Amino acid sequence: QVQLVESGGGLVRPGGSLRLSCAASGRTFSTYAMGWFRQAPGKEREFVAAISWSGISTTYADSVKGRFTISRDNAKNTVYLQMNSLKPGDTAVYYCNRNPPTLGSSWGQGTQVTVSS
């Protein structure tokens, strides 16, 4: 029963950086592994990064490995995605959710990231 609100997106130049935030409400937030996902126009939603409930273990899609960093602050019920060396191919709406998402998971509005020169 976690409500998730993404923020921090915007328009950046190639090579720029952006930090996304995912604010969550719910008593059991800290017990869930969390992830970031993205969807570009005309494409399926894809996995970007995930972090364990403790924050110790992280996983990244090959396309963002070395450029993106996922982190979380359970005391603040917030998950972050630091995005560096952004490329035009990173342009998408970014969503956060439990990882893996369940069949009953609901997706919010996400936050738009546009990388363009």
User: What are the tens digits of pLDDT across the range 25-37?
Assistant: 876 667 889 999 9
Cβ-contact 10, 31 below 8 angstroms: no
pLDDT in tens, 85-115: 999 999 999 999 999 998 888 898 999 999 9
* 1, pLDDT greater than 90: no
Burial class, 5, CB count within 10 angstroms (exposed 0-12 / middle 13-18 / buried 19+): middle
* 73, pLDDT greater than 70: yes
Greater confidence, 48 or 77? 48
